[in-house]
Structure 1
Amino acid sequence: MQEGILLSQSRTSGVYDVQGVWKVAINSSESAVDVNQLKLAAQRVISRHDILRRYFAESHRDGTSFLQLVLKHVTSGVQLVDFNTLEDLKQVTAHEEASGKAPGLPYLFTICQVPNNDVYLRLDINHALIDGTSTALLIRDLGLAYNNQLSPIGPKYSDFIAHLQTLSQNEAVTFWTEMLKETSPCHFPLLNERESADSQAFKTVEVELPDGQSNQLHDFCRQHDTTLANFMSTIWALVLSCFVGTDCNRVAFGYLASGRDVPIEGAHEILGLMITMITRQAEVESKKTVLGLMETMQDEFARSWPHQHREIHHALGLKAIPLFNTIVNVQRSTVGDTAAAGDIFFVPEMGHDPSEYEIAMNIKDGSEIWLSLGYWARCLSEPQAQSLLPFALQLPPFLRIRTS
C-alpha cells in the first residue's frame, strides 16, 4: 500500500498530500495553551515513533521502487508561525508550508497562536506515513506528551514491515488471479461536462443519517448477520452497476481495511500506514436479490481477507489500466468530535485528503453514521455529488448536507 501511494504521487502531484487543522484548547479556564510546550510535545512524539523519522528515496533494486531511511534523531519538522486568523492558517499553500520543512521530510507540524490567543495545530503529511487510526493515535500522544505522560519508546512500524516481508507473494497472486479472472476494468464515468477553474480540485460532500435511520441500519445488519462495511459495499456495487454500462460484466472497486489484525504485539498502537486495499467485485444480476448479493460479497470478502497485505495489481498485469477508480472506506469512530488527553484537547477544524481515485465513499460509524463522498471535480459537479449520496441509500432530501 505504501509503495502504491508513493508511485501514485510520482505520477500525479498533490494526491495523498494530507492536511489537518485542529484548535488546541485547555481544560482549565485559568490557564492558556503554551505553544512552546506544544512544540516540545510534537518533538517528543517524533522521537517516540520511528515512522516520523523516515525519509523515502528512490531505489534501483529489483522488487522495490523506494527505500526507507530511518534516522535516530530528527530535530526539524515542527514550526511556530504567526497568522492573524484561522482562515489564514488554513489557506497556507503547499509551497508556503514547504519553506519550513526540512528537505525530504514528508511532514510538518505548524503551531499558530492568533491575536485572540487561540492556538491551532496544522499537520501536513504524506499519506504514505499515516492512516486514520494513526492520526487519532498521534493526536492522543500529543496530549500525553504535553503533560509529560508519554513513554519515550513506542511500538515500531519496522516490526509491521518485517511481518509483511514474511508473507507469500505467490499465494496471494494465485488467489487473486483466480478471484478476478472474469473481472474487467470498472470505471465510474466522468460526468462533469462543464470545465471550470476548479475541475482539478478534490472536494467532499457529507450527509448525516438521522438517529432513526442509523438505528434501522444497524438493526438491519444485525438481523441479516452482516456488517455495515459489507452492507455499504453492496450498496456501492449496485450504484456502480447503474453507471458503468453493459461493457463491465462485473463491477469492481477498492475497499480500505485497517490492516491492524496482524500477529504483532501492540499493533493497534503502531503509528504508520497499515491500511490495505482489498479488491471487491460483484456480478449484479437482475435475478439475484440484494440479500443474495450481500451474502455472496461477504463470503468472497472473508476468503480474500488472508491475502489483503500483498500488492498484487502489478503482478496481475494491471499496471497500465487500473481495475477500478472508486473506493469504499468504513471508519469506526473511537473518539468524538474532540480528542482529549490530559490538560489539552483538540477540536478538528479542517481536513483534506485527496485520493488518486475519482470517488471515495467514506462511512463514519459511531454513535451516529456519517456518509461522505470525496470526489474530483473533473468527475462530478457539486450538484451531482450531492445527489449521488441520497441516491445510494434512497435517503430523504431533508438530510443536512455539508460541502467542502
Structure 2
Amino acid sequence: MVPTVWLAVEQMPRAASGKLDRAAIRVWLKAKNLSSAKAALNVRMTAPLTPPAAAGERLLQSVWSAVLGLPQQDIGRESSFMQLGGDSILAMQVASRCHKRGMQTTTAALLRGQSLAAIAESSCLIEPAGDAVAASCNGIPSEDNRLVKPAAAIPSVFDSRLSQLGRSKAHFRRGNIERIVPATDLQALMLAVGQLGDRAFHVEFKLELRPSLESAGLRRACEQVVLHHPILRSVYFQHGQALSHAVLKALPPDAVVEVEERDDSPSTVTFEEGTTLARFRLFSDGQLCHRLCLEIHHALYDALSLDLIFRDLDRAYASKRLSDGLHFHSWVSHVEALDRSPPRKYWREVLEASSMSDLVRPYAGATRQGHPLDERMQIRVPLQNLQTSCGTPSSVMKAAWALLLSQALETKDVTFGEVSTNRYLPVPGLHEVRGPCLNLLPVRARLDEGMTLASLITQVQDQSVASLPHHHLGFRSIIKDCTAWPRWTRFSTLLTYQNHGSMSPSLRIGDSDFALPSRGRLGDTADISLFATPGSEDLEIELYYSSRTFPSEQISWISRSLVTILEGIPSSLAENISLVKDSLRQSVGSYVQDPSRSAPPPDLLGGHPRDPSAQAREMVLEAWRELELFSQDQSEDCSMFSCGADVVTALLLSKYYLSRGYDLSTNDIIRHPTRSMQGYLVDLKEKRGLETRLDGIKV
C-alpha cells in the first residue's frame, strides 16, 4: 500500500451524494500524461547506499551484480533482490553461483524482499566448488550425497519385466541398463496425453546449417552428446502402478542417423515400451550436412536442459569439454528419497476446502476431452505494467488470471495450475540438471471483494515464495494426498511464465549460426494453456485452446478481459477488487459457459453385447488388481475413474494389456472405463487377432 508515484491535485471530484467520484478519477488518470512519473521510476535511488562490509555481503553483492547486470555500487546492504528486478529464475541462478563460490542460500530467501545484509546473515559459508560438500546451517538442509554416487544396482523386482521386454528389444537386456527410476508425474502425463492422438508433445527441431558442417564430425558430436546426456538414452516401461524410466548404457539404435538431403519424411519417433524418444537426423550429401533435425518427446527436456544439449553439441563438434551438470536420474533419485511430510502438510493447508476452477464443466470420469490445443491467440501488453512493488511480474500475471477466473465463474475462490521449473531445492548444480525437472502446481487465490488489487498480488506473491521449498512434490501426489478432489482432476487452465531466458534467439555449432524453429503439438493437458514470455518492452502472451472446446465468443471474452486487466494495473492497484470487476464487466460484458460443450459421451459400445468371456474377465481383473483399482464391493460396471484412476492409469492399463498380447490403446481405456467394457474389448481384440492369423492360412 506504499505509493510509488504521488500526484498533487487541488481538489478531488465528488459525486452528487458528496462521495468521492472514483469513475471521474479513473477517467482523469487515463487522460493524464504520466511519462515523467514513469521515467522517474527507472531512475536509480539517490539515497546513499551502505557498502557491504562482511565477506558474505560482498560475495552476495558480486553475484547479484553479475546476475542482474547492475554495477556493484548500485547494490548496498539495504538493497532488496526483488526490488532490483530479481525473479524466481534469477534467484535460482544466484543460489547456484553462491554455492560455487562458497555460500549456501535459498531461492526463497532471495524472494522474501529481505535486504542483502539480512540474507547474508541467514546464509552460511561453506567450502567452495565441492559437489560432494555437505553443509547445514540456519535451517538450510545439506546436499544429499546420493546425487554424486555411481550408478546404483538394478533392483531384482524389475527382472521379470526386463526379461519380457528384452525378448523383443535386444538393447533392453539387464546388462545394458545403467539406472531405473520412476518417471516424474509430468513425464507420465505427457507420455499418456501423447497417446491420445495427433502425436502431442512429440517435437521436432530443424536447424538449417549455414554454412554446412562436416558430416562425420557432426555425427560424432551428436553421438557424444547422446552418451553424455543420459536422458537421451532413456526408455520407459510399465511396471506395477508406475511408469518407470530406464537409462541405457550403450548408444541406442538409430539415436543418430544420416539421411539423404532431400529426404523430408515425417518424424518416426514414437512412444513404445523400451524405445528411445530422441533421435538426431543429419541431412547430408555424404560429405557435408546442410540440416540437422532433433526429434524428441517433451518428456525428455525442458528449456534449461534443451539449451545444455545444443551448447554441448557445439562443444563436442569443437572437441571441447562438455557440461558437468547433474544427471536427471540422480535428481529423481534424490527427490524420491526426500521426506514428503513437509510438502504434503504445506499443500494440504493451501488447498483445504478448495475446488478446481473449470472453464469447461467436467463430467465424472471424463478425464480428457481428447482435443489437442491446436488454436492459438497472441496478446501483447507493456511489460512495465507488471512491474510493481507488490510482487514479481510472474505473480502479477497469476493475480490477473485469478481475477479473470473469478469474474468468469463468479466465485471468490479460484484454483488453477502453473508450470514450475522445479529447480528450487538447495542442491548444488540444480540449475544445470540435464533433464526436465518441470512440475505442475496449483495456484489458489481468495478474492475478498473488499481487498485491493495490490493486496491480491501480494497474496499471490507470498504463496509463490512460501511454496518454493515444496515444488518437487508431484502434482498427482498433491491431488491424491493433499486434496479432496477426484483423482482424475486436471487443471482446467495452466499458466507458464517463461522468464528463464535460457534459450538464445540464435545458437551456434562450429561456424554455423542457426535459429531454433520447432514443430509439435500441445497435448490435452488443460482446457487452456497460457505462455507468458517477457521481452525487452512487452509481455507476449500466447493462449492455446481447442476450437472444439471453446466457441470464439468465449475466447474473445477471455483475451479482451486479460488485456483490460493487465493494461489497467498501474492505475488500479489501490482499487477494491469489486470496483475492478465492475469496470471489467462494463468493458467486456459477462462470460457465458456453453453447456452443450460439457455433455457426457454417448454409449461407446454402440449397443454391442457387453458380456465378456470368463478369460477376458480374469485378464481385466488381474490388470485392475495390479494397479490397485479393484475392491471387493466393486461391480463390473463401476468406472475406473471412481476408483482412483486418471489418464496416466489409463496409459498403464494399456501397456499392461499390451504386455499380455492385447492391443488396447489409451484412448480405448478412457472411452471404456469399466471392467465389463474392457473385458469386451479384450474379447474383441482376441477375435480380431484370430481373424488376422487365419487370413494367411490356405484352406
Task: Pick 1 or 2: higher relative contact order, CA cutoff 8 A, min separation 6.
Answer: 1
- Are the structure 2 counterparts of residues 203 and 131 from structure 1 closer, same or farther at C-alpha, using a change threshold of 3 Å? same
> What do the CA deviations read for 1:65-87 (whole angstroms, capped 9, x no partner)?
022222211243222234648xx
Q: Which residue of 2 aligns with 1:259?
A: 422
Q: Which residue of 2 aligns with 1:22?
A: 206
Structure 2: where are the runs of 5+ without partners? 1-182, 362-369, 568-699
**Are 2:516 and 1:348 aligned?**
yes
Pick from 172, 175, 178 the counterpart of residue 349 of structure 2. 178
Pick from 370, 373, 384 the counterpart of residue 540 of structure 2. 370
- In 2, the alpha carbon distance for the partners of 1:23 and 1:364 equals 23
Contact kept in structure 2, 1:56 and 1:67, CA below 8 Å: yes
Contact kept in structure 2, 1:255 and 1:278, CA below 8 Å: yes
> What do the CA deviations read for 1:90-132 (whole angstroms, capped 9, x no partner)?
xx2x5x4559x99611222233359xx9833333322222112
**Are 2:528 and 1:359 aligned?**
yes
Q: Which residue of 1 aligns with 2:77?
A: none
- In 2, the alpha carbon distance for the partners of 1:82 and 1:238 equals 53
> What do the CA deviations read for 1:13-65 (whole angstroms, capped 9, x no partner)?
25752313232334xxxx522344333222111111111122112122xxx50
Q: Which residue of 1 aligns with 2:234?
A: 54
- In 2, the alpha carbon distance for the partners of 1:345 and 1:269 equals 23
- In 1, the alpha carbon distance for the partners of 2:284 and 2:394 equals 40
- Are the structure 2 counterparts of residues 5 and 335 from structure 1 closer, same or farther at C-alpha, using a change threshold of 3 Å? closer
Pick from 240, 246, 250 the counterpart of residue 69 of structure 1. 246
Which amino acid counterpart does residue 220 of structure 2 have in structure 1?
L
Which amino acid counterpart does residue 350 of structure 1 have in structure 2?
S
Which amino acid counterpart does residue 19 of structure 1 have in structure 2?
V
Q: Which residue of 2 aligns with 1:277?
A: 440
**Are 2:177 and 1:10 aligned?**
no
- Are the structure 2 counterparts of residues 261 and 304 from structure 1 closer, same or farther at C-alpha, using a change threshold of 3 Å? closer
Contact kept in structure 1, 2:204 and 2:294, CA below 8 Å: yes
Contact kept in structure 2, 1:143 and 1:343, CA below 8 Å: no
**Are 2:299 and 1:128 aligned?**
yes
Which amino acid counterpart does residue 13 of structure 1 have in structure 2?
L
Which amino acid counterpart does residue 559 of structure 2 have in structure 1?
L
- In 2, the alpha carbon distance for the partners of 1:3 and 1:239 equals 28
C-alpha displacement of 1:328: 0.8
Aligned positions of 1:284-363 closer than 5 A: 284-311=447-474, 312-316=478-482, 317-322=484-489, 324-332=491-499, 333-355=501-523, 356-363=525-532
User: Residue 494 of structure 2: SS of its match in structure 1?
Assistant: strand
Q: Which residue of 1 aligns with 2:330?
A: 159
Contact kept in structure 1, 2:424 and 2:468, CA below 8 Å: no
Aligned positions of 1:74-153 closer than 5 A: 74-76=251-253, 77-82=255-260, 84=262, 88=264, 92=266, 96-98=268-270, 104-112=275-283, 119-151=290-322
Contact kept in structure 2, 1:157 and 1:270, CA below 8 Å: yes
Q: What percentage of residue pairs aligned between the two structures are identical?
A: 22
**Are 2:215 and 1:38 aligned?**
no
Which amino acid counterpart does residue 242 of structure 1 have in structure 2?
Q
Contact kept in structure 2, 1:327 and 1:357, CA below 8 Å: yes
> What do the CA deviations read for 1:293-329 (whole angstroms, capped 9, x no partner)?
1111111222222111112212235453415211111
Contact kept in structure 1, 2:530 and 2:541, CA below 8 Å: yes
Pick from 339, 342, 348 the counterpart of residue 168 of structure 1. 339
Pick from 397, 405, 412 the counterpart of residue 240 of structure 1. 405
Which amino acid counterpart does residue 205 of structure 2 have in structure 1?
V
Which amino acid counterpart does residue 66 of structure 1 have in structure 2?
L
C-alpha displacement of 1:168: 1.9
C-alpha displacement of 1:225: 4.1
- Are the structure 2 counterparts of residues 340 and 184 from structure 1 closer, same or farther at C-alpha, using a change threshold of 3 Å? same
Q: 1 or 2, which has the higher strand percentage?
A: 1
Structure 1: where are the runs of 5+ without partners? 191-198, 397-404
Q: 1 or 2, which has the higher helix percentage?
A: 2
Q: Which residue of 1 aligns with 2:578?
A: none
- In 2, the alpha carbon distance for the partners of 1:129 and 1:258 equals 14
- In 2, the alpha carbon distance for the partners of 1:81 and 1:384 equals 46
- Are the structure 2 counterparts of residues 169 and 16 from structure 1 closer, same or farther at C-alpha, using a change threshold of 3 Å? farther
Q: Which residue of 2 aligns with 1:401?
A: none
- Are the structure 2 counterparts of residues 237 and 46 from structure 1 closer, same or farther at C-alpha, using a change threshold of 3 Å? same
- Are the structure 2 counterparts of residues 50 and 8 from structure 1 closer, same or farther at C-alpha, using a change threshold of 3 Å? closer
Q: TM-score, normalised by structure 1?
A: 0.79
- Are the structure 2 counterparts of residues 273 and 8 from structure 1 closer, same or farther at C-alpha, using a change threshold of 3 Å? closer
Q: Which has the larger radius of gyration?
A: 2
**How many pairs were matched up?**
365
Which amino acid counterpart does residue 286 of structure 1 have in structure 2?
E
Contact kept in structure 2, 1:207 and 1:370, CA below 8 Å: yes
Contact kept in structure 1, 2:238 and 2:273, CA below 8 Å: no
- In 2, the alpha carbon distance for the partners of 1:383 and 1:106 equals 39
Contact kept in structure 2, 1:47 and 1:152, CA below 8 Å: no
- In 2, the alpha carbon distance for the partners of 1:109 and 1:305 equals 35
- Are the structure 2 counterparts of residues 260 and 204 from structure 1 closer, same or farther at C-alpha, using a change threshold of 3 Å? farther
- Are the structure 2 counterparts of residues 375 and 5 from structure 1 closer, same or farther at C-alpha, using a change threshold of 3 Å? farther
> What do the CA deviations read for 1:241-278 (whole angstroms, capped 9, x no partner)?
233x24x5521111112122233332222210112222
- In 2, the alpha carbon distance for the partners of 1:102 and 1:318 equals 31
Report which stretch shifted further, 258-267 or 134-143: 258-267
Contact kept in structure 1, 2:270 and 2:277, CA below 8 Å: no
Contact kept in structure 1, 2:303 and 2:502, CA below 8 Å: no
Contact kept in structure 1, 2:417 and 2:442, CA below 8 Å: yes
**Are 2:371 and 1:200 aligned?**
yes
- In 1, the alpha carbon distance for the partners of 2:560 and 2:282 equals 38
- Are the structure 2 counterparts of residues 318 and 146 from structure 1 closer, same or farther at C-alpha, using a change threshold of 3 Å? farther
